[in-house]
């Protein structure tokens, strides 16, 4: 089996076995489900201050993310789901009816974007849906681009938008275009038209698509004004996909294949040429570095099993992940040295793309094998640092750059008047240490405030309930 085909088979297998215990449809409103299990939404509703229309972060240090700078001792006002004012303490009047949040010694930055995330699979229980969304929020992930459509997801997107369900703002790709789902150009065109009509935000490309089918999809997408992103089918190839203006290349797919990175070092001249092409065509890349080490078998299983964040997911799900990974390593065709070579070359590749001016979007492919929503950002940071990206570059890829990429949907990703009130209150400066984003003092999503104590309460409840 060719390298990309093997990876795709593993992705499909793992995606279909992570389903939580079946219960109500994921389109069911958690607020109406009557569950007595721990719920972030119910805890939020118990706190009258959480629903206050106005909030003031007072005497807080701000990372506006419009440049690499910190604004010291600021007041930031929020009304509804918008930031309305920012200025030095003493120069911004705080409304008498505003909830005041003491920011002394703390740092306020925009909420983070997960640009290759996933929704809970079809058939998931209401409690599992709530859990996954809360895990994202608990680490400051306030926007998620869901990269594989399922029945019921569009309803989930609307429930989040209108406040019936507490979760990150969702941008959703429809059911994927793969070798199995679209066998002809006509089928691809019809599928694009159907997904545009249904209201999906973008199209998802999986491996196996023939070139003429891919081209038909691209032509229909251009005509209807919907973009396509994801994998690079082998028959299509990276250079053709870039020429057809595939909007994002996820997992850095296609680069290693093009450059022969599974066989030896990357050729500097060929690498420079594809980096230049990526930049000049304004193609965005979503690296998902940590997850890909898992997918190709380069990660250490014992280390992953020791991740403390695993305690927030059902035990049965973790067991499926363990068994799947052990089978991968036991496959007679598995080559550990080759896997490590690919992982090392991916670091070289990301360094070249970042230094070469390609536009990097932050993503971790959570939930997925050992990639726990929200917490997975802390697995991604070290690998991006290893690729030479600065802390500011990494934060920018998860905030301002996400806002630029999704500018047609809303204004967010910077701390500025008019921006959506997605904010993270960190206990220290992430520009000096990204670990300060662990255990935030609070997270705001579309103007709804989750205090650090509330986050800790819900996480403790999830750690106790592992079914």
Q: What DSSP line would sit under 313-354, residue for residue?
A: S-HHHHHHHHHHHHHHHH-TT--HHHHHHHHHHHHHHHHHHH
Burial 40-77 (b: 16+ CB within 10 A, else e): bbbbbeeeeebebebbbbbbbbbbbbeeeeebeebbbb
Q: What is the mean pLDDT of residues 222-234?
A: 98
Task: Check residue 268 and report its DSSP letter.
Answer: H
Instruction: Please write the tens of the pLDDT for every residue from 268-318.
Output: 999 999 999 999 999 999 999 999 999 999 999 999 999 999 999 999 999
What's the pLDDT tens digit per position in 133-146?
A: 999 999 999 999 99
**H runs (alpha helix) in 406-451:** none
DSSP string, 216-233: HHHHHHHHHT--EEE---
Task: Please give the Cα distance from 463 to 60 (Å, whole number).
Answer: 32
Residue 47 has a pLDDT of: 52
Give the separation between CA 112 and CA 398, rounded to whole angstroms. 5
What is the Cα 182 distance to its own chain's centre?
26
**Residue located via tokens 């996820």:** 250
> What integer pLDDT is reported at residue 17 of this predicted model?
35
Instruction: Assess whether pLDDT exceeds 80 at residue 242.
Output: yes
Q: What is the DSSP letter of 264?
A: S
Residue with the larger pLDDT of the pair 6 and 233: 233
Q: Is residue 409 a contact partner of residue 172, using CB atoms and an 8 Å limit?
A: no
Supply the DSSP string of 275-299, one letter for each residue: HHHHHHTT-EEE--HHHHHHHTT-S
The yes-or-no verdict on residue 237 having pLDDT over 60 is yes
pLDDT tier, 465 (very low <50, low <70, confident <90, very high otherwise): confident
Residues with Cβ within 8 Å of 33's Cβ and at least 6 positions away in sequence, in order, are 24, 126
pTM of the prediction?
0.92
pLDDT of residue 121: 86
The domain locations on the chain are 3-43+109-172+247-464
User: What average pLDDT does the segment 349-377 reach?
Assistant: 98
Q: Find residue 315's DSSP bridge partners.
A: none
């Amino acid at each position: 089996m060719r390298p990309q085909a093997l990876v795709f088979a593993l992705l499909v297998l793992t995606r279909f076995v992570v389903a939580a215990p079946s219960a109500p449809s994921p389109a069911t409103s958690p607020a109406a489900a009557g569950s007595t299990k721990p719920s972030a939404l119910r805890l939020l509703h118990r706190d009258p201050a959480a629903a206050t229309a106005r909030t003031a972060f007072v005497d807080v240090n701000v990372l506006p993310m419009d440049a690499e700078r910190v604004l010291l001792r600021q007041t930031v006002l929020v009304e509804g789901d918008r930031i309305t004012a920012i200025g030095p303490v003493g120069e911004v009047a705080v409304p008498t009816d505003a909830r005041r949040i003491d920011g002394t010694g703390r740092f306020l930055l925009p909420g983070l974007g997960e640009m290759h995330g996933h929704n809970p699979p079809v058939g998931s229980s209401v409690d599992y849906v709530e859990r996954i969304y809360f895990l994202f929020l608990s680490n400051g992930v306030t926007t998620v681009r869901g990269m594989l459509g399922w029945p019921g997801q569009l309803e989930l997107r609307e429930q989040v938008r209108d406040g019936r369900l507490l979760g990150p703002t969702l941008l959703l790709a429809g059911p994927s275009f793969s070798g199995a789902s679209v066998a002809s150009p006509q089928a691809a065109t019809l599928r694009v038209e159907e997904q545009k009509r249904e209201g999906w935000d973008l199209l998802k490309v999986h491996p196996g698509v023939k070139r003429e089918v891919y081209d038909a999809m691209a032509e229909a997408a251009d005509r209807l004004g919907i973009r396509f992103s994801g994998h690079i089918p082998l028959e299509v190839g990276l250079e053709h996909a870039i020429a057809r203006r595939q909007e994002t290349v996820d997992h850095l797919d296609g680069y290693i294949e093009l450059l022969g990175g599974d066989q030896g070092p990357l050729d500097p001249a060929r690498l420079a040429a594809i980096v230049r092409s990526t930049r000049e065509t304004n193609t965005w890349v979503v690296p998902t570095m940590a997850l890909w080490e898992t997918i190709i078998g380069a990660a250490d299983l014992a280390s992953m099993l020791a991740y403390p964040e695993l305690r927030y997911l059902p035990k049965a799900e973790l067991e499926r992940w363990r068994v799947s990974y052990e089978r991968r390593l036991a496959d007679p065709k598995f080559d550990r040295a080759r896997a490590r070579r690919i992982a090392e070359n991916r670091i070289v590749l990301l360094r070249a793309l970042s230094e070469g001016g390609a536009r990097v979007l932050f993503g971790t492919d959570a939930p997925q094998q050992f990639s726990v929503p929200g917490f997975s950002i802390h697995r991604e940071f070290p690998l991006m640092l290893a690729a030479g990206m600065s802390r500011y570059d990494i934060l920018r890829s998860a905030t301002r750059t996400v806002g630029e990429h999704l500018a047609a949907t809303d204004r967010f990703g910077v701390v500025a008047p008019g921006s959506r009130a997605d904010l993270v209150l960190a206990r220290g400066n992430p520009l000096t240490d990204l670990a300060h984003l662990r255990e935030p003092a609070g997270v705001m999503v579309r103007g709804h405030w989750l205090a650090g104590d509330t986050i800790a309460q819900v996480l403790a409840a999830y750690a106790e309930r592992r079914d």
